[in-house]
Amino acid sequence: MMSNQQFNNLNVEGLVTTIIPVYNRSGMLKEAVASVLAQTYRPIEIIIVDDGSTDDTARVADELSARYPGEIRVIHQANTGPGLAREAGRLLARGEFIQYLDSDDILLPKKFELQVGGLRNHPECGVSYGWTRFCMKGISTDITPWKRTGEKIVTMFPSFLESRWWGTSTPLYRRAVIDRTGAWTALTNEEDWEYDCRIAAQGIFLDYVPEFISEEHDHAGARLSREGAKDAKKLQQRASAHDLILRHARQANVPVDSQEMQHFARELFLLCRQCGAAGLPQESRRLFDLARQASGQLRGNCTDFKFYGILAGMVGWTIAGKIARFIDRFR
């Protein structure tokens, strides 16, 4: 049997590897896998990472692998969360190109054909993206591209400081870019945003496909991103992710006075107050310091920061966060 590292050293020219982490989503998994198998492009491989599912997902994954042994492999592991599940798949990937796909989303048939073609025609680009459609319960709710996937943007920074403006299904990465980026973190919230910002720090140029290439599906089922402003554990994860994202932006020399950095500074300050209200004083204080740093010397000494710092010093970071949250309701 070959080790993970031996597999990782295999880089098959032209091959697109799709990595699908899954937890208790057998029905959706079938749809996601079918969308990859329906690609007009070949060669492909699919790595399903069953992340400790407790329903019939493991069985369904094995059945898919048995039905398509030349194109599908399955990993079974204890539950780790989406980032480390993707990492398990990355270590086994053999493709020249890498596609990450959440188990509740789908790819449109010409995605790989269009994006591999784009990267072949633009060797200076490390990532290709195109239009993504947002769907609620499998029904398209918009005929326009979701988020900013309909815009032609040359590089990921500085725009990724304002938001992760694509979905996991949207980009196709060159394997060389993924290898330089390294391992996924153990974060379970905003781990995808942090990962893409690490890629952005490399100064990657983007190939743009002005066609619909994927669909992001929302549904009533469990999603790790829900209630991210109230749940203390998720806020801890988000605080760590924001800390790392700021480091990546600094590595990329994003100007402090840029619109995007100032937006991110405000996000840090908001998250600081949310963490305080949720009883996370250490995270709140750390985010407060990061927000001031990201704001620059002049804005970092403005009245809002001075007042909040004094308030936190008097009543503590938790009470200050609760007061700020109460005041925010009336703004």
How far is it, in rounded angstroms, from Cα 160 to Cα 171? Answer: 14
Both 168 and 305 in a single domain?
no
Residues 132/170, Cβ–Cβ less than 8 Å: yes
How far is it, in rounded angstroms, from Cα 264 to Cα 245? Answer: 10
Q: Which of 190, 218, 246 delimits the end of a domain?
A: 218
Residue 224 lies in a domain: no
Q: For residue 17, which of 68, 88, 69, 89 has the smallest C-alpha distance?
A: 89
Both 84 and 26 in a single domain?
yes
pLDDT digits (tens, 9 = 90+) for 9-43: 578 999 999 999 999 999 999 999 999 999 999 99
Residues present in the chain in total: 331
Both 253 and 201 in a single domain?
no
Both 207 and 237 in a single domain?
no
**Cα torsion 116, 121, 127, 129: sign:** negative
Q: Write down the pLDDT at residue 222.
A: 54
Burial 17-48 (b: 16+ CB within 10 A, else e): bbbbbbbbbbebbeebbebbbebebebbbbbb
Both 236 and 214 in a single domain?
no
Q: Write down the pLDDT at residue 3.
A: 41
Both 311 and 211 in a single domain?
no
Both 193 and 78 in a single domain?
yes
Both 108 and 197 in a single domain?
yes
Tens place of pLDDT for every residue, the chain, 331 residues? 334 444 445 789 999 999 999 999 999 999 999 999 999 999 999 999 999 999 999 999 999 999 999 999 999 999 999 999 999 999 999 999 999 999 999 999 999 999 999 999 999 999 999 999 999 865 666 689 999 999 999 999 999 999 999 999 999 999 999 999 999 999 999 999 999 999 999 999 999 999 999 999 986 655 455 455 679 999 999 999 999 999 999 999 999 999 999 999 999 999 999 999 999 999 999 999 999 999 998 887 889 999 999 999 999 999 999 999 888 776 6
- CA distance to 18, 133, 161, 169, per residue, from 130 (Å): 17, 10, 19, 10
Q: Write down the pLDDT at residue 299.
A: 85
Count of structural domains within the chain: 2
Residue 227 lies in a domain: no
Both 20 and 155 in a single domain?
yes
Both 250 and 153 in a single domain?
no
Both 170 and 84 in a single domain?
yes
Ramachandran bin of 317, using left for φ above 0, alpha for ψ from -120 to 50, beta for the remaining angles: alpha
Residue 226 lies in a domain: no
Q: Which of 218, 243, 261 delimits the end of a domain?
A: 218
Both 137 and 260 in a single domain?
no
DSSP per-residue letters across 31-75: HHHHHHHT-SS-SEEEEEEEES-SSSHHHHHHHHHHHSTTTEEEE
Residues 11/94, Cβ–Cβ less than 8 Å: yes
How far is it, in rounded angstroms, from Cα 232 to Cα 325? Answer: 15
Q: Write down the pLDDT at residue 226.
A: 47
Residue 313 lies in a domain: yes
Please report, for the domain that includes residue 65, its CATH number: 3.90.550.10
Residue 141 lies in a domain: yes
Q: Which of 163, 195, 218 delimits the end of a domain?
A: 218
Residue 134 lies in a domain: yes
| Domain that residue 289 falls in | 232-328
Residues 260/161, Cβ–Cβ less than 8 Å: yes
Residues 46/35, Cβ–Cβ less than 8 Å: no
Q: For residue 82, which of 32, 18, 23 has the smallest C-alpha distance?
A: 23
Residues 131/55, Cβ–Cβ less than 8 Å: no
Residues 35/108, Cβ–Cβ less than 8 Å: yes
Q: For residue 115, which of 103, 140, 98, 137 has the smallest C-alpha distance?
A: 98
